[in-house]
Amino acid sequence: MIKNLVCCSSNTMLEAMRLINDNARGICFVVDKENHLKGVVTDGDIRRALLSGMGLNDEITKALHKDFVYGYAGESYSNLISKLKLGVNIIPLVDRGFKVVDFFEYEQNVHFPVAIPNLNGNEFKYLTDAFLSTWISSSGKYIDKFEKGFSSYSDCQYGVSVSNGTVALHLALVALNIGEGDEVIVPNLTFAATINAVLHAKATPVIVDIEENGWCISPSEIEKSITKKTKAIVPVHLYGQPCDMGSIMDIANKYNLKVIEDCAEAHGAEFDGKKVGSFGDIGCFSFYGNKVITTGEGGMCTTNSDNLNETMKILRDHGMNKSKKYWHDRVGFNYRLTNLQASIGLAQLERIQEIHQNRRVYEDGYREILENEYCFQKDLERRSRITWLVSVLVDRECDRDSLISVFNDVGIEARPFFYPLSKMKIYKRFLRCPAPVSEKISSKGINLPTYESLKNIESIQKILKKHSIGVMAKT
């Protein structure tokens, strides 16, 4: 590739023009016989030289400028970016002997978002059917099919679809009669919806630290935080990794506590061969656009309890009596999913195994380039995680935020891990014990683009190699 960008200082204007035409990059690097860089010429430079009276057979050196831009091989990405001028996105790279050895190119049009949904199954077919049926609101056959299909997939007897994952958590808390005066244990490293739902239920959250290896809530920290007011535990299966549900359920049984599993990021993950969402009293899922399967916005509560299933269905629909229309026995909510959304969810569910397989393939693609320099999410004994987002930790000496900027500069939308809840002013009063593990994991974590329609992992690999991003993790 570099050959198509280099022309000899003895070449004519015409020969340089032909080279620029062939490489289709609008530029060439001028070198002497020993490959020392003499300058840089663009097609615009040649055009201006010709207009000033020079001829096609004049040497290309006559079009050179003294202030040309170049970089050194091995120079940092941020330094190279800063050298680019308006309208120029490619510069030569030289060694310490000033010989041209490579080039740097800023590919501004490349962009890999962190997550986008893939709707290439029966989504449009089912959505059109739901639309034409005129059942577009909160009743219709797709709601029933989706609830039955997803609950069965999750090893549960019942599924109660809701409008999003946050209200799934709130509905679960209310259905379990958790409220004012009750304490609910939550992990420090999670999305804010987990703790917000507890606060919306008027209960008191108690923040605890996470495991070093699994990044999920620590069973030992749970047990240390239990008081007479503790009513429930909300384990979060973070970034597709199942919590240690064996230990958590032992603790819950020992202290007679309710368990509400936050499975928003872990559809299909397993502990001891059993799906998450089926261990506790209620499992809560999100179907937001960046989740494993999506309905745009949406969620579901799964349970194996007849009583909780009926209670949640009533609360979801304004607290209305199921056999006496417009008669309300409880103060409820409008937390219903629409038939249109459920039709998309059902089509996504049909392909969930394929989705999981494709996501893991993309994770393996990242591992080929980055595994020696980054700590990837671990596969732990008794736990079968799923790939939601490819989640990695950088070396403790690396500036994580600067590295994220480098990823984003080359078109790979990298995102930091969630902030610890205890670091935010509105939540920090709910932390009773230090939480050093969650602070460390949060500060070094990066999530990389991972979605089922990511068909060009090879393009990402090429970018990672070209810019030596893997090496930067330990710089």
- pLDDT-derived band at 202 (thresholds 50, 70, 90) equals very high
- pLDDT-derived band at 87 (thresholds 50, 70, 90) equals low
Of 200, 25, 205, 9, nearest to 103 by C-alpha is 25
Lowest mean pLDDT among 227-236, 264-273, 301-310, 460-469: 460-469
Average pLDDT rounded to a whole number, residues 441-446? 96
Q: What is the reported pLDDT for 112?
A: 80
Q: What is the reported pLDDT for 171?
A: 98
Q: What is the reported pLDDT for 138?
A: 86
Q: Name the class of domain 2-105.
A: alpha beta
Q: What is the reported pLDDT for 471?
A: 58
Kindly report, residue by residue over 280-317, the tens digit of the pLDDT.
Answer: 999 999 999 999 999 999 999 999 999 999 999 999 99
pLDDT at 41 over 80: yes
Average pLDDT rounded to a whole number, residues 226-237? 98
Average pLDDT rounded to a whole number, residues 11-15? 93
Q: What is the reported pLDDT for 475?
A: 45
List where CATH 3.40.640.10 sits in the chain.
123-350
Q: How high is the mean pLDDT of the chain?
A: 92
Does 3.40.640.10 match the CATH number of domain 123-350? yes
pLDDT at 88 over 80: no
Q: What is the reported pLDDT for 66?
A: 75
List where CATH 3.10.580.10 sits in the chain.
2-105
26 against 446, higher pLDDT? 446
Q: How far is CA 409 from CA 52, 81, 102, 104, 105, in A?
A: 38, 9, 20, 13, 12
List where CATH 3.90.1150.10 sits in the chain.
352-472
pTM given for the model: 0.79
Average pLDDT rounded to a whole number, residues 144-151? 98
Which CATH superfamily hosts domain 352-472? Aspartate Aminotransferase, domain 1 (3.90.1150.10)
Q: What is the reported pLDDT for 2?
A: 76
Q: What is the reported pLDDT for 372?
A: 86
pLDDT at 23 over 90: no
